[in-house]
Amino acid sequence: MPACCVEAVPHSGLGNWLYVAAEVALVAKAYNCTLVLPAALHRWFRLPPHARRPGAAPLACREVRSMQEASSNEHTRRRATRAMGARSFEDARARMFRRLFGLPRPSPQAPVRFGTSVHVRTVSDVHCHTHTDIRSCRRGCLRDEALHCVVRHALPPVLILSDSAKAGAKLRRMLLQREIRDVWDETDIVDARNHSALSRQAAHQTMLLWAAFVAAERRFASGVSTFSKSALLAIPHQGTRTRGGDYVVDTRCAKTHETDGNLYACRRAVLSRDLV
């Protein structure tokens, strides 16, 4: 029986929930610890049998809230990579995402099966100072090049997810100019004003959007969003590789820190570069 126990205690948005859970699961795998994941994740996904619910572990658990619990420690990275039988830590993390979140439980589906889903993230939600109506928050700069790239590659019907109602409307207009008229906004599926997972209702609605995003044939994730990048990690086309129809878009107008990566418009998603 494992002599240790680690429990994922997620916070903030749904993408952070999934990244924290995957990191903690890698720690549990590396050190042969009991893994405890939130009850909500058990409701939303068919988790592996060894993943326990809170309160069901046979011993006291260490609570973990860090998204870098495994990836920031070189020793843990090596142990987790070995334990997962992976070539690299990035590969190990993708395998863990697939293992935990590759089988979402059936839920009310979106009205249509989308050809394209796109997530436009314009600014970190911490700068909005509210989760209750994030789509009306003042937004930062949004580069048109990223949206033009989406329009060039979009397959209808198109689902637009965005933390900015203005950004979503702008992309819709650009698609209409290309005569792509079957365009859906996230508000056509759920009341999407609250993108957090800070309440049961908000978390459930955000999960419905995540499931709709995942199911599209062609997916455009925001390069600064754990919400949409987690979807590309969790449901790849084959093994741990990203799908040929998966892209990442960069809506930044400038680098906010010298260590940030260079600006780009959009590109095919690459595991080791875009989904870390």
Report pLDDT digits (tens) over 9-28.
Answer: 987 788 889 999 999 999 99
pLDDT tier at 240, thresholds 50, 70, 90: very low
Domain termination site, one of 70, 101, 132 = 101
| Residues 125, 90 within the same domain | no
Percent of the chain scoring above 70 in pLDDT: 84
- What six digits make up the tokens of 105? 């439980």
| Residues 214, 255 within the same domain | yes
Position 108 in a domain? no
What is the arithmetic mean of pLDDT over 269-276? Answer: 79
| Residues 130, 264 within the same domain | yes
What is the arithmetic mean of pLDDT over 183-192? Answer: 86
Flag whether pLDDT at 221 surpasses 80.
yes
Gap between the Cα atoms of 202 and 216, Å rounded = 22
Strands 183-185, 158-162: pairing kind: parallel
Domain termination site, one of 101, 133, 160 = 101
Q: Which domain does 199 fall in, by range?
A: 116-274
- Which among 76, 60, 54 is positioned nearest to 8, based on CA atoms? 54
| Residues 130, 239 within the same domain | yes
State the total domains in the chain: 2
pLDDT tier at 238, thresholds 50, 70, 90: very low
* CA atoms within 13 A of residue 197's CA, in its CB half-sphere: 22
| Residues 94, 128 within the same domain | no
Flag whether pLDDT at 246 surpasses 80.
yes
Gap between the Cα atoms of 122 and 79, Å rounded = 36
| Residues 259, 134 within the same domain | yes
Position 38 in a domain? yes
* CA atoms within 13 A of residue 214's CA, in its CB half-sphere: 21
Position 123 in a domain? yes
pLDDT tier at 183, thresholds 50, 70, 90: very high
| Residues 82, 150 within the same domain | no
Position 107 in a domain? no
Gap between the Cα atoms of 188 and 208, Å rounded = 12
Residues 6+ away with beta carbon under 8 Å from 127:
137, 140
| Residues 158, 84 within the same domain | no
Position 53 in a domain? yes
Q: Which pLDDT score is estimated for 178?
A: 94
Position 268 in a domain? yes
The tens digit of pLDDT for each residue in 103-135 reads 998 766 667 889 999 998 876 555 555 555 666
| Residues 95, 142 within the same domain | no
| Residues 71, 174 within the same domain | no
| Residues 170, 242 within the same domain | yes
Domain termination site, one of 101, 136, 160 = 101
The tens digit of pLDDT for each residue in 30-87 reads 999 999 999 999 999 999 999 999 988 777 899 999 989 999 999 999 999 999 999 9
Percent of the chain scoring above 90 in pLDDT: 51
Q: Which pLDDT score is estimated for 241?
A: 47
| Residues 85, 135 within the same domain | no
